[in-house]
A and B are shown apart, each in its own frame.
Chain A
Amino acid sequence: TQLLEQSPQFLSIQEGENLTVYCNSSSVFSSLQWYRQEPGEGPVLLVTVVTGGEVKKLKRLTFQFGDARKDSSLHITAAQPGDTGLYLCAGPNFGNEKLTFGTGTRLTIIP
C-alpha cells in the first residue's frame, strides 16, 4: 500500500492569514484528491489533480500536484473561520480500486 503523509498534523492560525499544508509520498500516484471533513460528517471532495505540475484554484484555495506526482500542496489565502476542518489527501493505489487516505491536517481558523 502506498502511504501518504500530511503535514502539519495540526494548524491553528488567525483569520486573514495564509497557510499551506502538504501531502507527501515516496510513491508515484496517477492522481491525488483533496477532501475536507467537518466534525460529525463524511469527507467532501474539493479537487482532483491528475497531471504532474498541475495547479487548480478553487476560490481562495490553490492545489498543486508535484512534477513527479509524489506530492501535493494546498494553499489557502486569507483564511476564514469557514475553512476550519480536517483536510485529507487521497490517492488510488496502482493495481486496485481503493483510495488510500493521508493522515490529515486539522485546521482551525481563529476569528
Chain B
Amino acid sequence: NAGVMQNPRHLVRRRGQEARLRCSPMKGHSHVYWYRQLPEEGLKFMVYLQKENIIDESGMPKERFSAEFPKEGPSILRIQQVVRGDSAAYFCASSPSGSGTNEKLFFGSGTQLSVL
C-alpha cells in the first residue's frame, strides 16, 4: 500500500523556466494539499484540492503558480518563470476527507526545488 508519492525528489531549474511538481495521493484519498517549506521554517499552506476542484487556494501566490488535480492522474503544482525565491521544499499531503474533520494527513517526501 504505497504512501503519498511525489516526484521528482529534487528539481533544478534556471530562472525563467517552468517547474512541474507531481503528487499521487494514497489510494482511496480524494483530498490533496500542497505546502511549501523554507529552511528552518514550518510548513506554509498553499492550496487544497479535491478531484477536479480547487477548494482553497488562499496560500497560493496570485501569479506564476497554479495547481490541478485531474480526474485521472496525479495532482500537479506548476510554477512558471521560476525565480530564486521559489527555491524551497514543496510537500504534498492527502487525506480521505477534509482535514477540518481532524482527519490525519499523510505527507509525501517532498520535492526540493532549487532555482539557479
Q: Please say whether chains A and B are actual partners in one complex.
A: yes
Interface residues of A (CB under 8 A from B): 6, 30-31, 33, 40-45, 48, 50, 88, 90, 92-93, 96-104, 106
The closest CB in chain B to the CB of A93 belongs to B100
Total cross-chain contacts (CB, 8 A): 67
Contacts A92-B99, A92-B100 given; indicate if A100 touches B107 (C-beta within 8 A): no
Stretch at the interface among B13-21, B35-43, B64-72: B35-43
Q: Which residue in B99, B107, B109 is a CB contact (below 8 Å) of A98?
A: B99
Complex-state Cα separation, A33 to B31, whole angstroms: 18
Which chain B positions have C-beta within 8 A of A41?
A: 109-110
Chain A residues within an 8 Å CB radius of B93: 42
Q: A88-B43, A98-B59, A99-B45 given as contacts; is B110 within 8 A of A45 (CB)?
A: no
Q: Residue B104 at the A interface, CB < 8 A? A: yes
B39 CB to closest chain A CB (Å) equals 11
Interface 1/0 per residue, B78-108 and A, CB below 8 Å: 0000000000000101000011101011111
A30 to B99, CA, bound (A): 12
B56 contacts the other chain (CB 8 A):
yes
Range, interface on chain B: 20 to 34
Shortest distance from the beta carbon of A8 to any chain B beta carbon, whole Å = 13
Instruction: Scan B32-64; emit 1 where CB is below 8 A from any A CB, else 0.
Output: 010100001111110010000001101100000
Compute how far the CA of A46 lies from the CA of B80 in the bound complex, rounded to whole angstroms.
35
Determine the distance from Cα of A106 to Cα of B40 in the docked complex, in whole angstroms.
Answer: 8
By a CB distance below 8 angstroms, the chain A residues around B56 are 96-98
In the assembled complex, the CB of A100 is this many whole angstroms from the nearest CB of chain B, namely 7
Give the complex CA separation of A99 and B44 in angstroms: 9
B4 at the interface (CB under 8 A from A): yes
